[in-house]
Chains A and B, each alone.
Chain A
Amino acid sequence: GAVVSQHPSRVICKSGTSVKIECRSLDFQATTMFWYRQFPKQSLMLMATSNEGSKATYEQGVEKDKFLINHASLTLSTLTVTSAHPEDSSFYICSALDRGRTEAFFGQGTRLTVV
């Protein structure tokens, strides 16, 4: 099956600093990657859709200047949480769409804690 690797799995950062999360498709080319946010006991909320080589499309209510997304290659997308605050603490999950397929495969998630 398609493997998506997300790094780091856990990160703790100080308020005001920035954190970068990587999402890699290991054995396929991902033309589209998705970034989700999940609060405890809640569902996944789509933050943005990124296509390789173009700007990400953000969902309504998601600040694009705070959540910077870069999809520079067909196997890597990054999410940078800038000037993080405690309310940004959450579980962030990426998923990747295999070229030619319609199922999305998920990374293992990154638990961000801002102190």
Chain B
Amino acid sequence: NAGVTQTPKFQVLKTGQSMTLQCAQDMNHEYMSWYRQDPGMGLRLIHYSVGAGITDQGEVPNGYNVSRSTTEDFPLRLLSAAPSQTSVYFCASAGHPNDYEQYFGPGTRLTVT
């Protein structure tokens, strides 16, 4: 059981470039989510999904897209990177809706120059 995996661990982008952060889980969890963590700001929800084919916006969705074609995978796309998107990104998954214990991945540290 690998849990929640994220790739890459580190990434440097130039302003305007696009990229996809990958997230996968092998626990058959229905709920998956993406967060960004900035110093002093805590974790902020970007997008989430309650099952394959269903996605919705969190607190800070602008500049990010997601899709959920399978239960296992939940990629996060940055279409045109901006310096304000420099952050640490965490993916998480959770199982039963009444008891959403979230399992987090190890994070991706993204720098946009």
Partners in one complex: no
Residues of B within 8 A of A (CB): none
Residues of A within 8 A of B (CB): none
